[in-house]
Amino acid sequence: MKFELLSTDSSSRARAGTLALPRAAVETPAFMPVGTRATVKAMTTDELEGLGYRLILANTFHLALRPGDEVIRDLGGLHRFQAWPHAILTDSGGFQVFSLAELRRVTDHGVVFQSPLDGDRIELTPERAIEIQENLGADIIMAFDECSPGGCGEREAEQAVARTTLWLHRCLEAKRREDQWLFGIVQGGIHLPLRERSAKEIVACDCPGYAIGGLSVGEPKAQMWPALETVTTHLPENRPRYLMGVGTPGDLVRGIDLGVDLFDCVLPTRNARNGQVFTRQGIVQIRHACHRTDPGPLDSSCSCETCRLYSRAYLRHLHQSNEILGHRLLTLHNLAFLRVLMAEARHAILDGSWTQWRDEKLTQWETPVDSLPGEA
């Protein structure tokens, strides 16, 4: 396993590199599709591979509940279980526990919560999070962390920072497998001194990579970017940086500009199922009546199967009829769009045109032509 930094833009922190993993070489910056329950919704693994993806996500929390991490281990591990020959990153479950606020109790030892499946009492600790991820067999695994809500007070954020550092030390002690990279996670909410403190504490543990958590969880964008900039300032240049849960095209561009290498988000798949798609002209809501008789493709500059073969009128018909094919075709396009966006960003960094490319994309994506209010 190796991360090689190839180029850094001279006027920003944008960077291009290669992340070499046992099952894949991942060109960065890169977006990672989310396959929470060992499936990227509506997509086959052949389709993901055909789009050019080599690194996807799965979720520790959900797979431990169903079908069970030991079941997956006994069936040969997550790669074989879901027929994915390339690299996998598993989230530790910290964010999912965060989302179960009404069902959980957090202490320094770990988290006790009610299963959302059957109400059973379950305990998740740093040691258990590592055990699950080792059973799953992912290439990159995440430390168990406490994610504080967006806009939380300094005291609550500080407590999350302290626990996240404590839990990383316990994760490192619990880790047994040598063929997995364990990433530490930086927390601290929107409080810049806490972000700096967390980054320094996590970097002191000398992890092979670092994630930035607790952003895009409800805080205003105007507070998100300074927090991210503070973190990347204090992360080592020679380790990969992963911004968790960010996935709009505009946010990806801004994240790259601030020095992020890896991203993930459910947005392209979830929004596709709701009829929202990314195009060169901005966000398109396929359910809008203006597409009812439109014979053109979603995006005339896109070469994905959806854009090559199907009209906006047909895609709107599928969506309005709640046909499964509509979900699949829109999901395929959104994932294809982000894959191309990342490839273009990498090319712009490598050939020295990043600043111009960045400004064009931000102008395009921060003034969408066909979006719902508040969804720009």
Which distant-in-sequence residues (6+ apart) come within 8 Å of 276 by Cβ? 283, 284, 285, 286, 375
Which distant-in-sequence residues (6+ apart) come within 8 Å of 247 by Cβ? 31, 263, 264, 265, 266, 267, 268, 338
CA distances from 240 to 92, 235, 243 (A): 18, 9, 10
Helices 354-365, 249-257: inter-axial angle, 10-degree rounding: 150
Catalytic residues: 91, 264
In this structure, the number of other CB atoms found within 10 A of the CB of residue 344 comes to 12
Q: b/e string for 175-188 if b means 16 or more Cβ within 10 A?
A: beeeebbbbbbbbb
Element of type H or E holding 226: helix 221-233
Beta bridge partners of 265: 33
Residue 238: is it exposed, middle or buried by C-beta count within 10 angstroms (0-12/13-18/19+)?
exposed
Closest CA to 142 of 267, 3, 264: 264
Q: Cα 222 from chain centroid? A: 20
Report the alpha-carbon distance of residue 271 to residue 287 in Å, rounded: 12
For 141, half-sphere exposure in the C-beta direction (CA atoms, 13 angstrom radius) is 31
* Phi then psi dihedrals of residue 215, to 5 deg: -115, 160
Which amino acid would we find at residue 89? Answer: L
Helices 126-136, 154-174: inter-axial angle, 10-degree rounding: 50
DSSP codes, 133-193: HHHHT-SEEE----PPPTT--HHHHHHHHHHHHHHHHHHHHH---SSSEEEEEE--TT-HH
Q: Quick check: helix, strand or coil at residue 54?
A: coil
